[in-house]
Structure 1
Amino acid sequence: MTTPHISAKAGDFAELCLFPGDPLRARHIAETHLDSAELISDTRNMLAFTGQFRGTPVSVMGSGMGMPSCALYAQELFQHFGVERLVRVGTCGAVSANLNLRDLVVAQGACTDSSMNQKLFGGYDFAAIADYKLLSEFVGYCQKKNQRVAVGNVFSTDSFYHPDKKLESRLEAMNVLALDMEAAALYAVAAIHKKQALAVMTVSDEIRTGNGLSANERQTAFNEMTKMTLESLLVY
């Protein structure tokens, strides 16, 4: 079955799909972490692959940047292609002073400045939260490996260049850990379809200090996070 945005056939996707924003990062994951990976969709250059990780089928597909793009692809993957577990693997900007570059952040919940979820929920505020089983498996694996991981609220924003100059202070005051641009929409779409979703991110930038990882450092940190995600959800 094809959709307006995904050209894969029925059965092409595995039940577990990793969901980075950048389609080229999806290619990198497929080539670096999966065996026998095959391209299954390239509509609009939003690349998708399916391969195996230690004998278990795994897919990976780009989500694009921002909540509208993430929600569009999540909707089609859940509704038409048999994906049961969709895991965002990406980067975030640290708001909390307790976070450093390369730290792992798991979005237990996702606040947002978008009205998307309110519209889905009849004008009410929807608590966008991770699937508990996926979250507990990943966090448990990190603890077993003595890997530091921060678990809590993130803030999914529609605006990369946000006009509210006091936003970071407000978020820090409410103990929000980091900024991203997709988690709130992913969790809402998963809830609608009664599927499992999780957002795992590496801190690539410190909002307050302006410090950030270089391109090579981002790739290295991303590789480590992706491997841990796969190991925790398929091996642990």
Structure 2
Amino acid sequence: MAENANDPRTRQSGLDTPLSARRRRLPRLSPNPDAFGEATEGFARFMGTPQFLLWMTLFCALWLGWNTWGPESLRFDDAAIGFTALTLMLSLQASYAAPLLLLAQNRQDDRDKVALREDRDRAERNLADTEYLTREIAGLRLALQDVSTRDFVRSEMRSLSDDIVEQLRESLREEIRNEIRNDLLEARSADRDRKTTKKGSAKKTGKKKRGTRPADAEDTSTTTLALLAAEEAAEAAAERPQEGPQA
């Protein structure tokens, strides 16, 4: 038993021992898949054309005609045995045509799968681009809602122009009033100086005119008239810049 266990032939016959690679008696054929596939596709395409049917019909007609009406010494497929050679040839052609057609169909299926995958990827990219454009358009619509319209800008400019005109009017009134007030104060001071000089000279001479108004009453009336004139001048000057923007 021990000798049988150590025998290499016995060890190789066990199920738990892998077999060694066998030597091939015939060389392994490995044609180029692309070249062979292109050849089979070309043959399959030619078999599906009207030219193949016409040539096949012409070949069979010549075969049958020669072996039927040709010289007996030159006939190679006798009609008495039912054209056995032609039958075998057509069977051989059919037996090879079916695998060639299947091979061409498999290659076409592979190309269809690749084309389908590319179409799916292209459709996904188009969908992503469409979604991106949709989001961008939605963002633009939201942004356009905050944009000022022409009527709104016009109304705002009109209100601003009215405010500016009112401010200019007030500033012009104040400037005119200040100028008139300064002029009146200067005139009053000049009148007082002149009257003071006259009073001093009248006291020296001892003469006094009758029927004249007192100095304070005269100054009060003059100041009142000047203020009224200043108000009218300020109103007229304030109306001028208002007419300019409206025009």
More helix by share: 2
TM-score, with length taken from structure 2: 0.17
More strand by share: 1
TM-score, with length taken from structure 1: 0.18
Using CA pairs under 8 Å that are at least 6 residues apart, name the structure with larger relative contact order, 1 or 2: 1
